[in-house]
Amino acid sequence: MKRTTIAQLNANPAAFADKDVVVCGWTRSVRDMKNFGFVTLNDGSCFADLQVVMNVGEVDNYAQVAALGTGSAVCVHGVVALTPERPQPFELKAAKIVILGESAPDYPMQKKRATREFLRTQQHLRSRTNLFRAVFRVRSVAAFAIHQFFQERGFVYVTTPIITASDAEGAGEMFRVTTLDVDNPPRTPDGAVDWSQDFFGKATNLTVSGQLQAENFAMSFGDVYTFGPTFRAENSNTRRHAAEFWMIEPEMAFCDLEGDMDVAEAMLKHVIRRVMDACPDEMAMFNKFVDKGLAERLEHVASSDFARCTYTQAIEILTAAQAAGHKFEYPVSWGIDLQTEHERFLTEKHFQRPVFVTDYPREIKAFYMRANDDGKTVAAVDCLVPGIGEIIGGSQREERLDLLEARIHELGMDPEQYKFYLDLRRYGTCEHAGFGLGFERLVMYLTGIDNIRDVLPHPRTVGNADF
């Protein structure tokens, strides 16, 4: 007999009333009341547990089941009984319980409250807790919502390469990828490591961004997006940094900075709505136990128009706040890179909603961003959200060949390495824009979880590559 999931039962209990079903799952608790007992079962198909009732006379291995520890795997054959008078709308009256796998007594996920720090040492088991089951379901629903958003709008999904011979934008430290014998690498006559003998015939790294390659495809498909892993070998042990994380990078031809912001705003709202609709139990749990303001904040973001201001206006706002007595750790002046404290002041205190800050000083932004006419700023945009700060960074790209070439020379970059990127400006260039969204930041934002290690299935951070 085919198994029925608890999600299927919950979706329409009445349809299963008095029917025989088989439900397989893991025990969360077993209570023995002598002549009868309860098994609380979860099968991972939804947040809710299933209440199983068993009677001594009816379940022939009653004693064995009653002795099961938390986390045992069982299949329950039984009849669905509607229970409008009880807290749960239905229960399963067991006729037969097959024990598939007992849980050893040293099971680390006993029902007592474990700290998130401890659970990080149990990454293979922690998704059996309510908290992590909720986190990873929301992560999955959010990922699909992103694909849906772009696919429904005709964007083409492009998987950009993970192994790359370029350093993209010089953004951060990179991991070397090699098949050379590190103990004894081949050498050139002058004693240097001979990278020409490496697997790809040159030195290669893990990508920090798929943007430049995404542009190749935006210039033929118009609208494209990436969604894949990216890497930073930064030695920063913070709650917000992982060495391996997933990024979404849309890139749109015939699109300026305004259009870029429109897409980013619509995308965030779509994902929030979708997660709130698809995961009401999970979201209620986060709101209750993780972050009490979460539901209100997300509802607010999903229903308000995002503010938009220039970097120059933002500096004026921050300077005024400073003058009025607000203390910032990093002093404010035109030209600085905004720190998280500044970003959070803008979005939480001043605008009290998400805000796009645009037109940053050229010197603090990447070479490919489009020069504004003022000669000082570029058409960059960061999206700041309450509780997090920057969640999205984007820009209109420099589509003018002469300006882009000049900038590459000015920064001492190797034009030969960017030949393909310059070609896009040689052959049918057009205005285009895009942005990058760190997927884990988004999941943190959606769940209220404040440590990136707790939204990655198996996080990779300095000193940690377990499981």
Chain positions 8 to 67 lying near a second copy, rule: CB under 8 A, are 24-27, 43-45
Instruction: Choose, by CB under 8 A, the member of 172, 222, 361, 393 that binds a second copy.
Output: 222
Amino acid at position 47, single letter? F
Contacts with a second copy in 195-214 (CB under 8 A)? 199-202, 204, 206, 213
For residue 124, give the 3-state DSSP assignment.
Answer: coil
Mind giving me the DSSP string for 323-363?
HTT---SSPP-TTPPPPHHHHHIIIIIISSS-EEEEEEEGG
- Of 33-41, 185-193, 322-330, 378-386, the segment contacting a second copy by CB under 8 A is 185-193
Instruction: Choose, by CB under 8 A, the member of 9, 66, 134, 253 that binds a second copy.
Output: 253
Q: How far apart are CA 295 and CA 58, in angstroms?
A: 45
Instruction: Choose, by CB under 8 A, the member of 75, 95, 290, 295 that binds a second copy.
Output: 75
Least distance (Å) between residue 336 CB and a second copy: 29
For residue 185, give the 3-state DSSP assignment.
Answer: coil
The nearer residue to a second copy, 45 or 396, going by C-beta atoms, is 45
248 DSSP assignment = E
CA distances (Å), origin 405, targets 155, 185, 370, 455: 29, 36, 12, 40
**Which structure tokens are listed for 79?**
């009849």
CB count within 10 Å of CB 46 equals 20
- Of 33-41, 136-144, 283-291, 294-302, the segment contacting a second copy by CB under 8 A is 136-144
Instruction: Report which secondary-structure segment, H or E, holds 270.
Output: helix 257-278
Phi, psi for residue 364 in degrees, rounded to 5? -100, 10
Least distance (Å) between residue 156 CB and a second copy: 4
The nearer residue to a second copy, 24 or 81, going by C-beta atoms, is 24
Residue 203, C-beta contacts closer than 8 angstroms, at least 6 positions apart: 165, 176, 178, 195
145 DSSP assignment = H
Instruction: Choose, by CB under 8 A, the member of 228, 302, 312, 313 that binds a second copy.
Output: 228
- Of 56-64, 163-171, 386-394, 402-410, the segment contacting a second copy by CB under 8 A is 163-171
- Of 149-157, 281-289, 347-355, 370-378, the segment contacting a second copy by CB under 8 A is 149-157
For residue 455, give the 3-state DSSP assignment.
Answer: coil
Residue with tokens 């002093």: 331
Least distance (Å) between residue 47 CB and a second copy: 11
Query: Is residue 369 a contact partner of residue 379, using CB atoms and an 8 Å limit?
Result: yes
Considering the rule CB under 8 A, would residue 249 count as an interface residue with a second copy? no
Binding mask of the shown chain, residues 359 to 388, with x at each position contacting a second copy by CB under 8 A: ------------------------------
Contacts with a second copy in 100-129 (CB under 8 A)? 100-104, 107-109, 123-125, 127-128
Least distance (Å) between residue 438 CB and a second copy: 13
Contacts with a second copy in 269-308 (CB under 8 A)? none
Instruction: Choose, by CB under 8 A, the member of 95, 221, 307, 341 that binds a second copy.
Output: 221
Residue 248, C-beta contacts closer than 8 angstroms, at least 6 positions apart: 146, 225, 226, 227, 436, 437, 439
- Of 30-38, 52-60, 218-226, 317-325, the segment contacting a second copy by CB under 8 A is 218-226
Q: Is 248 left (phi over 0), alpha (psi -120 to 50) or beta?
A: beta
Q: How far apart are CA 351 and CA 441, in angstroms?
A: 21
Contacts with a second copy in 402-431 (CB under 8 A)? 420-421, 423-431
Considering the rule CB under 8 A, would residue 220 count as an interface residue with a second copy? yes
The nearer residue to a second copy, 316 or 405, going by C-beta atoms, is 405
Amino acid at position 440, single letter? E
Burial track 95-113 (b if 16+ CB lie within 10 A, e otherwise): eebeeeebbeeeeebeeee
Least distance (Å) between residue 60 CB and a second copy: 21
Least distance (Å) between residue 353 CB and a second copy: 25
Least distance (Å) between residue 313 CB and a second copy: 27
Least distance (Å) between residue 34 CB and a second copy: 25
